[in-house]
Structure 1
Amino acid sequence: MFKRLKKKYVVPAVAVGLLFTGAGFTYRDDFFEIAKQIEIFTTLYKTVNTNYVDQTNPGDMMDKAIKSMLADLDPYTVYFNEADVAKFKINNTGEYTGIGAMISRKEGKLIIKEPYKDYPADKAGLKAGDEIIQIGDVLLADFKEDASELLKGSKNTKITVKYLRQGKPYTTDLVLSEVDVKAVPYYGLADKETGYIVLSQFNAKASSETKAALLDLKSQGAKRIILDLRGNPGGLLNEAVNICSLFVKEGEIIVTTKSKNDKYNNTYKTHAAPVDLDIPLAILVDGKSASASEIVSGALQDLDRAVIIGSRSFGKGLVQRPLDLTYGTQVKVTISRYYTPSGRGIQALDYTHKDADGKAIRIDSKNYNAFKTRNGRTVYDGGGILPDVVLDASKQSAIADALQRKDGVFNYATQYYYKNPNLGTKIPTVTDADFEAFKAYLKKENFEFDTDTERAVKDLMVTAKKEKVDESIKAEYNALLAAVQKSEDKELAAHKEEIKQLITDELIKRYQYKEGLYKYYLTSNTEIKKATAVLANSAEYSKLLKK
């Protein structure tokens, strides 16, 4: 009896306590409305739990209720249960014990996306594209929880896994070890005097690893530096400030944060002696450079300390902070907006105003405001960081995005790898014939690009079936879908070179790991070539910064 009462009432009471504590602090003026809504919520929960036809799971229900509530605010304000907290800490520190591989679960399948060199998955022989079907005694077909949790444990734990490779079953043993996810996975010389540093994330080691790379490159003769922030989703704000400290004087304002809550209004300044105030600096950004990446690129652009090259960045100008709750849980809350030294905010989406589909509205360029850099150059707010040198090659097309998002390129690369297993360190050459083979592969696999237009057409047929008019419009529907697919074929042809490059990049990772891809970039990547040329031309570099 007690257990049932505990299940019915104690869990919701705890949830109410969490909500009530936070709410009471944040919305004192709305105390009655909050108390009223919490009472409605708990009454609803008890009523449903008591009367629902089947047994309910209070933990799952509360987890979904809280996460759904927060999702209506913005994508960054999220609740972490106990398991989520562990993952969040890994992302911030870059350290964990596991198999050392990027994995994904789509449509119930657990797929190895990228094994990290010399870590357990790699040592056990696992390759990108392998589908794990059993971990220990657990068949993943019957396991609906987060299967990646089964691949964690204490150091030296042995785990037997079964997997499918090209449809054939295999078995291997994984021995867990400490995995150190580097913030700077690669650095090297693009030429004798140009150093190149990849900064992939802003974890707790970001600034120390970047500083070490910078000093080493200078010792090798580097007189110019390229900092690659492409694809960097951000991370710790303090680390962004510390990165800037390497290149600007102590006491320089890098970012300010503003909030309705005074304690979150802060000014962040550099607080360490710089490594080099004068070394010419270029920063690479793209549409996936976000948050802390935009703080670094935006601040150094405003201070006229670096030339920004690439395509417009993502546009995330919101700051989050994890706050501890009870029972080892956390909530990560958007606490403030951040502004670059010139005073501009770079948030691109307005989450306080949403369209008919509930999606945040993108700030219109006509509503951007102008600001001035230290040297008087004009920069704008509202839409991420616009580079000083905009390169079309750096902006990903919608069709290429769909091919990556839906694993079209990834799955084709898996097939190609096993048909051509002996390339070794040779750079794969993706020919026009290979591109035609890729298109044939997409057709054979009935690849769905899932573009907005394609989804709209298919949704139309779903509605038609519900209203039982699908037979009468079948011919028109098929013609319309065929027209959409024909336009997608045209898009494939129009972006052939971009897609061939994506295939090349993915194949290099298969044969030479990510390190091989970075080495290839040094001599072949358009953005790195442009950055190298700009830095080598002191007149152009100075002109861009108006020095």
Structure 2
Amino acid sequence: MKHLFKKITIISLTFCNLAFLNAQSNGFEVIKGIDLMENIYMYLDQYYVDEPKYGNLSKTAIDAMLRELDPYTVYYHESNMEDYLLMTTGHYGGIGSVIRKMDEFTYIIEPYEGKPAFNAGLRAGDKILEIDGRSMKGKASDEVSTSLKGSKGSAIEIKVERNNEIKTFNFTRDEIEVPIVPYYGMLDGSIGYISLSTFMKQTVTDEVAKAIKSLKEQGMKELIMDLRGNGGGFLNQAVSLVNLFVDEGITVVSTKGRIESEIFNYKTQTKPLYKEIPLVVLIDENSASASEIFAGTLQDLDRAVIIGQTSYGKGLVQRTYDLKYGSKLKLTVAKYYTNSGRCVQKLDYYNKEFGKKAAAVPDSLIKTFYTKNGRTVIDGRGIEPDVKTELKDMSNLTYMIMVNNLVFKFANDYYYKHPSIAPADQFHLTDEEYNTFRQMVLKDTFEYKTISEDILLELKNTAEKEGYFNEVKDLYDKMLPHLTPSKERDLDKFKEEILKLLEDEIVSRYYFQKGRTVYNLNGNEDILKAKEILKDKASYNKILGNK
């Protein structure tokens, strides 16, 4: 033990000497922190009543330390390399399926078309009973997910329950990749549409360019790029994708960190292939990082109309470093700034209070910047769309229907009773089929409240305290029945909202993610607004400030 801590001390001193080489680091605080950790480990090892689980202690300590920085600085233990691969490359070894915990078991929610789970015969709705002989009852979904992952070519046995039958599937895992372009196609004759799900591969620009080329051959004259839900990825791919639409030599993004090597301007390197094509980019609150670089710079250059909701607001850049023992550290090294000079970072992690969540950058520190044509944009708030659309709030009844997995269960039953359905863009449930679902909901015992009822009851209590209630009692009695939850009433009132969710879920059983995308193109507010603006050249140019 004496020799062990002598070795630790040598390592610690070496670490500290390296820290001193960086003039920007606080040398004393680094030494102090390492010395304290060494002392604590020594006392735990020598005196703690039970033998500590050092691996768990180390990981917990590291994770807690990094959480005080930002959510993007992450330590990956050697046992979590599949998670690391998914987060940093967009692929991992596994079976290729979305899973979700319901009650005591985890279920197959959606197997990816053409991937091992689907090819082996697993289907949405399958209850996972065992993996490689180990019961999954009561296991957290993260633990089930870890059991499903593994290296390409490794064998796996999964026992499931389907329609009260027990089935066992034996197959091998494969490398699973998140599709870069889940769908592209033509809308309304001349408008092309591309759904871009991630920037997490070095082939993003190539795949988008390939999709555009195909759409051009089909007569495309205007383009919608859909980055809703795109959480980002490689910065260089955002730069090269911008280069498809803007001139050579233009600064797309700049990075600024504590060290000189992280201060860099990224410029377009080639002549654009599609400089003149009218362009709309769709974003939402889950469009982040590289998505914001792409959308933000095109906005700064007045090259595209941005439609949707304000983006996530991630203006931080990470790099990954190899550590000892096969582990890795993903570390925030810089902030990025779009063409106009703005940083979109929304949360201020540096000034947050210890142990508390980061707050948004205060309004007093928000700065104004200007696009190429002189339009006003701001920093510290993500990307604000040129044309904002509102997400409709889900009714409380619909929310409870989803929470209780009734849409999921109905879609499973529907799938096994109907060998085929109409194409995704033409599929609709009949009134009779909706009534079947209606009866299913009415038989379920879940209860729910409306916000309106809560507010009315609060108003009643306040009015009683202040002595005004008797004067408005008749009005209260008239209002209450209309605001009190009623499944029968609300199943009719919110029928269109519920139908949309049912049809979307059913379509995914037959046509998978691509089918969901095609189905949701119809009637989507963002898509409708994009088509409207692209068809009206005067409106398009006015928004961009073109003369």
| Structure 1 unaligned residues grouped into runs of 5+ | 454-484
CA 1:15–1:349 in 2, change beyond 3 Å: closer, same or farther?
farther
Give the 3 Å change call, closer, same or farther, for CA 325–500 of structure 1 in structure 2: same
- Residues 378-399 of structure 1 show CA distances to partners (whole Å, capped at 9, x for unaligned) of 111111111111111xx36487
Q: In the alignment, which residue of structure 2 is the partner of 1:383?
A: 381
Q: Are residue 170 (structure 1) and residue 167 (structure 2) matched?
A: yes
What is the CA deviation profile of residues 180-215 of structure 1, one whole-angstrom value per residue up to 9, with x for unaligned ones? 332111111112211110100112222111111111
- Alignment partner of 1:416 is 2:417: no
Q: Contact 1:225–1:281 at 8 Å: present in 2 too?
A: yes
1:41 is aligned to: 37
Give deviations 1:264-314, integer Å, cap 9, x for gaps.
111111113321100000000011111111111000000001000111111
Give the corresponding residue for 1:300: 298
**AA at the equivalent of 2:543:** L
Greater C-alpha radius of gyration: 2
2:89 aligned to 70, 89, 93, which one?
Answer: 93
Asked whether 1:236 is paired with 2:234, we answer yes
Alignment of 1:314-393 (within 5 A): 314-354=312-352, 358-365=356-363, 367-392=365-390
Q: How far apart are residue 11 of structure 1 and its match?
A: 10
1:140 matched to 2:119: no
Contact (CA 8 Å) 2:283, 2:307: kept in 1 or not? Answer: yes
User: Structure 1 residues 119, 29: closer, same or farther in 2, change over 3 A?
Assistant: closer
Residue aligned with 1:444, SS: coil
Give the 3 Å change call, closer, same or farther, for CA 423–528 of structure 1 in structure 2. farther
Distance 1:335 1:491 in 2: 51
Q: What amino acid is the match of 2:524?
A: N
The 5 Å alignment of 1:113-124 reads 113-124=109-120
Partner of 1:57: 53
Identical residues among aligned pairs (%): 37
Change (3 A) 1:267 1:108: farther
- The 1:429–1:359 alpha-carbon spacing in structure 2 relative to 1, beyond 3 Å, is farther
Is it true that 1:197 corresponds to 2:194 in the alignment?
Answer: yes
Residue pairs, 1:462-501, within 5 angstroms:
500-501=499-500
Equivalent in the alignment of 1:68: 64
Identify the residue that residue 130 of structure 1 maps to in structure 2: 126
What SS does the corresponding residue of 1:420 show, helix, strand or coil?
helix
Aligned partners of 2:504 and 2:520 also within 8 Å = no
Contact 1:370 1:380 (C-alpha < 8 Å) held by counterparts:
yes
- 8 Å Cα contact 2:297-2:338 kept in structure 1: yes
Summarize deviations over 1:197-256 as a string: whole Å, max 9, x none. Answer: 010011222211111111111111111110000011111111111111111111111111
State the Cα distance separating 1:65 from its structure 2 match: 0.6
Query: Per the alignment, do residues 491 and 419 of structure 1 end up closer, same or farther by CA in structure 2, a change over 3 Å counting?
Result: closer
Which residue does 1:474 correspond to in 2? none
Which of 306, 310, 313 in structure 1 is aligned with 2:311? 313
Count of residue pairs the alignment pairs up: 508
**Structure 2 residues without counterparts, runs of 5 or longer:** 455-482
Mapped to 1, the partners of 2:289 and 2:334 lie a distance apart of: 13
Shift of 1:407: 9.5
Cα distance between partner residues in 2 of 1:488 and 1:337: 50
Indicate how the Cα distance of structure 1 residues 101 and 15 shifts in structure 2: closer, same or farther if over 3 A, else same. farther
Q: How big is each residue's C-alpha offset from its partner over 1:332-355, in whole Å with a ceiling of 9 and x where there is no partner?
A: 111111111111111111113346
Give the letter aligned to residue 198 of structure 1.
S
Structure 2 CA distance for partners of 1:132 and 1:435, relative to 1, 3 Å: closer
CA shift, 1:168, in A, is 5.2
Distance (Å, rounded) in 2 between the aligned partners of 1:280 and 1:384: 23
Cα deviation, 1:399-454, whole Å, max 9, x if unaligned, reads 78994xx993682222111332217333243978588668658x7357899xxx9x
Q: Given residue 136 of structure 2, which amino acid in structure 1 is its aligned partner?
A: L
Q: Do 2:449 and 2:484's aligned partners in 1 also have CA atoms closer than 8 Å?
A: no
In structure 2, how many angstroms separate the alpha carbons of the residues matched to 1:429 and 1:293? 35
Partners of 2:12 and 2:163 in 1: CA distance? 50
Name which of 99, 108, 114 aligns with 1:103.
99
Among residues 134, 157, 168, which one is paired with 1:160 in the alignment? 157
Return the letter of the residue paired with 2:145. Answer: S
What is the root-mean-square deviation of aligned Cα atoms in Å?
Answer: 3.8
Q: Distance in 1 between matches of 2:241 and 2:163?
A: 44
CA shift in 2, pair 1:250/1:11, >3 Å: farther
Match of 1:529 in 2: 528
* Matched-pair contact (CA < 8 Å) for 1:424–1:512: no
Cα separation, partners in 2 of 1:138 and 1:26, compared to 1, 3 Å? farther
The alpha-carbon distance between structure 1 residues 207 and 56, as it changes in their structure 2 partners (threshold 3 A), is: same
Query: Comparing 169-178 with 208-217, which one deviates more in the overlay?
Result: 169-178
Matches within 5 A, 1:151-300: 151-153=148-150, 155-165=152-162, 169-204=166-201, 205-300=203-298
- Tell me the equivalent position of 1:479: none
Cα distance in 1 between the residues matched to 2:360 and 2:281: 25
CA deviations 1:18-58 (Å, max 9, x no partner) are 97577555576522222122111121122123333333211
